[in-house]
C-alpha cells in the first residue's frame, strides 16, 4: 500500500530532531570556538604561513619557542601571587611583583629567588618594568598609580612616599585597571594597558621619570579576552601582549598587527600542562622568554634552532 502524503507529522519527528540536534551541536561548537579564540588562532596561523623565512628572522617569531623550564615553583612564595615580570639588562636578573602581599622580588634567570623587597604603601601592585639607570616602574591597580623606584643592592624595603608617583586615570571597572606596563627603549616611553576592556597608552620618559602627559594608543589588540602583561623585545622593538584568560601570548608588528603567537596550553611548545594564570612576561637581549603564573610558577622558553 503506497504511503499517504497525508501521513502523520509524528513520523517526521526523528528527522527533525536530528536536524535540530545537529544545529545545536554547531551552535555549541561556534560558541566554544569563539570563547577559546579558535577563530582568531586560525586567522593568525594563516597569516603566519604567509611570512617568509626572512620576515620570520626579523621578528621574535613565537612559534619557534619551546619550554625550557616548565612550571618551576618559586621557593618561599607559595602564599603569594606573582603579578608581572621584567628583565633587567644591567644585572642580568628578573623582577616580579607580588600582589597579595605587596613586595618586589628579584629572580635569577633560572627562577631562583635572590631577594625580597617589601613594598610599603602599595595596595595592589600588578605591573613592573625596568627602565634605565636602575629605575623600576611599579603600577598599582587599586590606586591607579605608577611609581618609579630604585632598589640598590642591600635594600629590603621601599616606602611609596619616598618616590615620584604618576596617576594613570580611572579604571572603567573595579579591579580591572592598569595591569600591564613595559619600557620601550627605542621610543623612550612607558607603555601601559588596562586589563579589561583592553586599552593601551604610552607615556614619554627619559628612563628615570615621565614627561608631559600619557597618550592613548588607538585600536584594540585582536582576540584577547583580557590583558595580563606586556613586554617589548629589545632586538626588534615588537610588543608582546599576554592574556591569562585567553591562554595566549601575541607578538605585534610595527603596525600593532598580530604577527605570531603562542598558545599557553598543555602539549603546546613542550608544556606539560596549561599555564594556569599567566601574569607576567619578559624577554632578554638573547631572545630568551620568561613567564610567571599565579601563584608562584616560573617558566622559561628558548628558541629552537632550525
CATH number at residue 62: 2.120.10.30
C-alpha 225/C-alpha 198 separation (Å) is 8
For cell 626579523, name the residue.
58
- The whole-number pLDDT of residue 58 equals 87
Domain assignment present for residue 44? The answer is yes
Domain assignment present for residue 272? The answer is yes
Q: Is residue 24 domain-shared with residue 99, that is, in the same domain?
A: no
Q: Is residue 93 domain-shared with residue 194, that is, in the same domain?
A: yes
Q: Is residue 46 domain-shared with residue 80, that is, in the same domain?
A: no
- The whole-number pLDDT of residue 54 equals 77
Q: Is residue 44 domain-shared with residue 176, that is, in the same domain?
A: no
Q: Is residue 23 domain-shared with residue 166, that is, in the same domain?
A: no
Domain assignment present for residue 3? The answer is no
Domain assignment present for residue 1? The answer is no
Q: Is residue 137 domain-shared with residue 252, that is, in the same domain?
A: yes
Q: Is residue 15 domain-shared with residue 96, that is, in the same domain?
A: no
Domain assignment present for residue 22? The answer is yes
- The whole-number pLDDT of residue 258 equals 86
Q: Is residue 28 domain-shared with residue 166, that is, in the same domain?
A: no
Tell me which residue range forms the domain holding 67: 57-303
Domain assignment present for residue 2? The answer is no
Q: Is residue 131 domain-shared with residue 280, that is, in the same domain?
A: yes
- The whole-number pLDDT of residue 46 equals 46
Work out how many domains the chain is built from and give that number: 2
Give the contacts of 232 (CB within 8 A, at least 6 positions apart). Answer: 182, 183, 184, 185, 186, 191, 238, 239, 240, 283
Q: Is residue 44 domain-shared with residue 105, that is, in the same domain?
A: no
C-alpha 272/C-alpha 235 separation (Å) is 29
Q: Is residue 33 domain-shared with residue 123, that is, in the same domain?
A: no
- Using 70 as the pLDDT threshold, list the residues of the chain that sit under it: 1-13, 15-16, 18-51, 171-175, 220-222, 306
Q: Is residue 279 domain-shared with residue 144, that is, in the same domain?
A: yes
- The whole-number pLDDT of residue 110 equals 97
Model's pTM, two decimal places?
Answer: 0.85
Amino acid at each position: 500500500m503506497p504511503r499517504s502524503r497525508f501521513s502523520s507529522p509524528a513520523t517526521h519527528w526523528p528527522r527533525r530532531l536530528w536536524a535540530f540536534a545537529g544545529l545545536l551541536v554547531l551552535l555549541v561548537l561556534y560558541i566554544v570556538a569563539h570563547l577559546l579564540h579558535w577563530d582568531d588562532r586560525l586567522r593568525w596561523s594563516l597569516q603566519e604561513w604567509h611570512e617568509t623565512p626572512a620576515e620570520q628572522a626579523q621578528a621574535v617569531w613565537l612559534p619557534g619557542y619551546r619550554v625550557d623550564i616548565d612550571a618551576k615553583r618559586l621557593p618561599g612564595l607559595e602564599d603569594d601571587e606573582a603579578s608581572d615580570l621584567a628583565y633587567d639588562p644591567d644585572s642580568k636578573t628578573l623582577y616580579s611583583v607580588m600582589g597579595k602581599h605587596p613586595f618586589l622580588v628579584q629572580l635569577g634567570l633560572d627562577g631562583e629567588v635572590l631577594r625580597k623587597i617589601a613594598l610599603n604603601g602599595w595596595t595592589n601592585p600588578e605591573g613592573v618594568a625596568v627602565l634605565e639607570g636602575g629605575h623600576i616602574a611599579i603600577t598599582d591597580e587599586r590606586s591607579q598609580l605608577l611609581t618609579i623606584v630604585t632598589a640598590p643592592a642591600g635594600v629590603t624595603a621601599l616606602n611609596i612616599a619616598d618616590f615620584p608617583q604618576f596617576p594613570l586615570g580611572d579604571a572603567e571597572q573595579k579591579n580591572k585597571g592598569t595591569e600591564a606596563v613595559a619600557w620601550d627603549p627605542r621610543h623612550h616611553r612607558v607603555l601601559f594597558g588596562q586589563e579589561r576592556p583592553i586599552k593601551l597608552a604610552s607615556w614619554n620618559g627619559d628612563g628615570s621619570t615621565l614627561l608631559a602627559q600619557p597618550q592613548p594608543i588607538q585600536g584594540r589588540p585582536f582576540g584577547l579576552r583580557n590583558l595580563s602583561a606586556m613586554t617589548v623585545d629589545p632586538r626588534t622593538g615588537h610588543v608582546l601582549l599576554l592574556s591569562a584568560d585567553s591562554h595566549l601570548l601575541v607578538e605585534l608588528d610595527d603596525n600593532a598587527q598580530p604577527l605570531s603567537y603562542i598558545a599557553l596550553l598543555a602539549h603546546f611548545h613542550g608544556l606539560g600542562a596549561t599555564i594556569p594564570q599567566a601574569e607576567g612576561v619578559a624577554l632578554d637581549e638573547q631572545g630568551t622568554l620568561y613567564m610567571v603564573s599565579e601563584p608562584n610558577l616560573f617558566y622559561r622558553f628558548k628558541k629552537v634552532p632550525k
